[in-house]
Structure 1
Amino acid sequence: MSTDPDIGSDVQPGCLPPRERYDVFGHDAAEQAFADAWQSGRLHHAWMITGPRGVGKATLAWRAARRVLGARAMPEAGPLGASAQDPVCKLIESQATPDLLLLRRPWDEKRKRWRGEITVEEARRAPHFFEMSSGGGGWRVCIVDSADDMNNNAANALLKTLEEPPHRGVLFLVTHTPGRLPATIRSRCRRLALRAPSVEATAGWLEETGAADNAGSALAASKLAGGAPGRALTLIAGGGVELAAEVNLLVDRGAAASDADIRKIADRLSLKGQEEMRDLFYEVLANAIRVQARDRAEAGRDATDWLDSWRNLNTLVRDANALYLDPKQTILSALGQVRNVARKEKARA
């Protein structure tokens, strides 16, 4: 997520802000479901857009919002397509329309960073927003990005709006983990479930749009992202493909991994703005450890130490997130632990 107060906490590194993104990849069915509901004249008041990170949930929410707020249809751009030159779209993109409310994690001016959650003060803006009439007598739209960031009090405050459907009002709740939202919220929303396109399809899209330099990097980014287009863009922009190769090489070196190589990764990933890459690092490292354990098990060798290392890594990452442990020391501990397992194994050989 962005750490720039002028950009927004809802913006992924390497990606345009969702309000500025006019294309979406791989979700025509979900868009058509919303378009059909809109055209029927019986639009449900709350929509929960679910799916993995970077799959295009927020992009779809903003595309739907443009149409609800009056942007002219552009069929060649998909069921919810609209032109960036449309006057309504220009107002939305410049955040100049009073008929759209975005709820996201607020900026902490004292600490100069985004708050870790959507606060109750933010959520209480929704009922006040819907109490007001639309400037042109039309619709009002509220986007929550992401609903996963709401604390309990914020969720309860938003629930009041969901319990009393606003007149000519619609809410879009973007969520990566819908199961963690209160059942009282889930039950009041119609769900649009987005799934990542195939790895091959997303790789082709990355090539076609020029986001990747070549077919190899496009395929590597798509594999790491599980086919999620937005996450693939973030990985390309942040050097995620190169990082994954670096981590896998380090684990393959095992006991021969040097202190300099370990410190190099820790120094880079502990810098400000590297949160997304740190998440990728732990994901790649955990997978590399699993591969080491699997290879030994398949060869009839003892894989206990590698399995323990995998469990210890998961515990370390969970504690680091919960206790706000120093990122650099956490990364050093994680890589040092892997090297120790390899050295122990080598000593027994």
Structure 2
Amino acid sequence: MSKAEPEITVPHPRETTALFGHHDAEQTLLGAYSGGRIPHAWLISGPQGIGKATLAYRMARFVLAHRDPASTQVQSAETLDLDPEHSVVHQVAAEAHGGLLEIHRTANDKGVLRTVITVDDVRETVGFYGSTAAVDGWRVCIVDTVDELNTNAANALLKVLEEPPLRSLFLLVTHAQARVLPTIQSRCRKLPLRALAAADVLSAAALATGRDESDPELREVADASEGSVSRAVNLLGGGALKLHQRTASLLNTLPHVDPRELHALGDALGTSDRVALAAFTDSVDRWIGERLRADEGGLNANLPRLARLAEVWEKIGKAARETESYNLERKPLVFSVFSLLAEATR
């Protein structure tokens, strides 16, 4: 049984005011808002853990703080940055701003986090945008992530996007644009984000964890993170980094699998080590995400394989969330993941 690594708690994107990298994407949002013709919905896409939600909350705070795009503050702004002591910053961090609606997975009546975003969560937008007593001016809705919407929830969101209320702004976050309904995509301005440079990962991870950028372990995980801050943080602790490398090595042998190696990997995950489980699922997410992004563009896209991988990714994501939520045995998850991926890649 593996020894559990201590968990590292990092601030939620709603509490994070700093943004590393993504200067061009930030300027796109700022330019659209200051120009007075901002699209009502944006689909912010890219690999997991690179700052998509951080950018979304940064934009939301700016709009809620500066309700008039023609104001001097907006027209002279060079970034979406706000003073950390601004009242909107504190209200958003405390989930107490009446002009912001956050749609994400919620807990069920037993206090367990659901594996998907439900239609009831999305239906909150009806009351939110229909309210006149909340906050004058803009109302902003962040969906983090669209990938986790179940079918009914996705269709409910589509209906709202089809007839957007006045002065409404939707910021939809996705780790894989290919998994988003084409009808939702068609109603959004697409804003793709790239993986971060290692130096940006290092700075962001240092700020999130309170470590110094000269920390050798932090530098090692930043180099191994492939542009993802969340991956770097998940890999902190030598055991997690080694498990990530071990999982990546086995994934690269697909569609062939060695049962003995899978047994060993399941043992390495332990029974209740959340850090190890995060490293495993992150490695799988990255592997599938890379293949989806490679296939989703270009004239030679392998559409059948793309569809199979997208379907398998959804199944794996749900199984991984259930394993974490209910603290289930890890080894069955390992065998299930590799079985699904082997079938999808044959």
State TM-score, norm by structure 1.
0.69
Q: Which moved more, 1:270-279 or 1:182-191?
A: 270-279
The residue that corresponds to 1:330 in the other structure is: 332
Q: CA deviation at 1:31?
A: 0.4
Aligned positions of 1:218-229 closer than 5 A: 218-229=218-229
Name 2:118's counterpart in structure 1. Answer: 119
Do the aligned residues in 2 keep the contact of 1:105 with 1:118 (CA within 8 Å)? yes
Code of the aligned partner of 1:40: G
| SS of residue matched to 1:108 | coil
Match of 2:141 in 1: 142
What residue is the counterpart of 2:47 in the other structure? 52
Structure 2 counterpart of 1:228, one-letter code: S
Residue 37 in 1 paired to residue 32 in 2? yes
CA drift at 1:319: 7.9
- TM-superposed CA distance for 1:159, in Å, is 0.7
Deviation, structure 1 residue 232: 1.4
Does residue 199 in structure 1 map to residue 198 in structure 2? yes
What residue number does 2:23 align with? 28
- Tell me the CA shift for residue 92 of structure 1: 1.4
- Residue 171 of structure 1: aligned partner: 170
Instruction: Say which one has the larger Rg.
Output: 1
In the aligned structure 2, how far is the partner of 1:144 from the partner of 1:249?
33
Please tell me whether the aligned partners of residues 143 and 171 of structure 1 are also in contact (alpha carbons under 8 angstroms).
Answer: yes
Q: Structure 1 residues 206 and 143, CA, compared in 2 at 3 Å: closer, same or farther? A: closer
1:46–1:190 CA contact under 8 A, matched in 2: yes
Q: Give me the CA root mean square deviation.
A: 4.2
Match in the other structure for 1:7: none
Q: Name the counterpart of 1:236.
A: 236
Which residue is 1:296 aligned to?
none
- Unmatched tracts of structure 2, length 5 or more: 1-6, 68-72, 251-257, 289-311, 337-346
Partner of 1:190: 189
* 1:33-88 deviation digits (Å, cap 9, x = unpaired): 0000110111110011101000001000000000110159699x971111220012
| Whole-Å separation in 1 of the counterparts to 2:316 and 2:134 | 47
Q: Does 1:217 align with 2:217?
A: yes
Deviations 1:117-164 (A, max 9, x none): 000111111122112236342110110010100011101101111001
Per the alignment, in what secondary structure is the counterpart of residue 173 of structure 2? strand
Question: For the residues of structure 2 that align with 1:240 and 1:64, how far apart are their CA atoms?
Answer: 33
Report the 3-state secondary structure (helix = DSSP H, G, I; strand = E; otherwise coil) of the residue aligned with 1:124: helix
- Gap change, CA 1:109 and 1:125, over 3 Å in 2: same
What displacement does 1:107 show? Answer: 0.3
Partner of 2:101: 101
Q: CA deviation at 1:265?
A: 1.8
The equivalent residue for 1:299 is: none
More displaced stretch, 320-329 vs 142-151: 320-329
State the distance in 1 between where 2:134 and 2:287 align.
Answer: 52
279, 282, 289: which one aligns with 2:281:
279
- Which letter maps to 1:182? L
AA paired with 1:328?
R
Structure 1 unmatched runs, 5+ = 1-11, 287-315, 335-349
Q: What does residue 133 of structure 1 align with?
A: 132
- 8 Å CA contact 2:203–2:213 kept in 1: the answer is no
Q: Give the letter for the 1:165 counterpart.
A: P
**Is the Cα–Cα contact under 8 Å of residues 61 and 88 in structure 2 kept in the other structure?**
yes
Structure scoring higher RCO (CA < 8 A, sep ≥ 6) equals 2
Letter of the structure 2 residue corresponding to residue 79 of structure 1: T
Question: Would the alpha carbon gap of residues 333 and 128 (structure 1) be closer, same or farther in structure 2, given more than 3 Å must change?
Answer: closer
Instruction: Within 5 Å, give how 1:149-164 maps onto structure 2.
Output: 149-164=148-163
Contact 1:71–1:89 (Cα < 8 Å) also in 2: no
* SS at 2:143 equivalent: strand
Q: Specify the code of the residue in structure 1 equivalent to 2:36.
A: G
Residues 189 and 281 of structure 1: is their aligned pair in 2 closer, same or farther, counting only changes over 3 Å?
closer
Match of 1:266 in 2: 269
The 1:245/1:74 distance shift into structure 2, 3 A limit, reads farther
Q: Distance in 2 between matches of 1:248 and 1:45?
A: 39
- 3-state SS of 2:169 partner: strand
Counterpart amino acid of 1:20?
E
Q: What do the CA deviations read for 1:151-185 (whole angstroms, capped 9, x no partner)?
A: 11101101111001211110110100111111110
Answer yes or no: is the 8 Å Cα contact 1:267–1:328 preserved in 2: yes
Provide the C-alpha distance between the structure 2 equivalents of 1:49 and 1:318, rounded to a whole number of angstroms.
19
CA contact (8 A) 1:22 1:84 kept: yes
Indicate conservation of the 8 Å contact 2:195/2:228, yes or no: yes
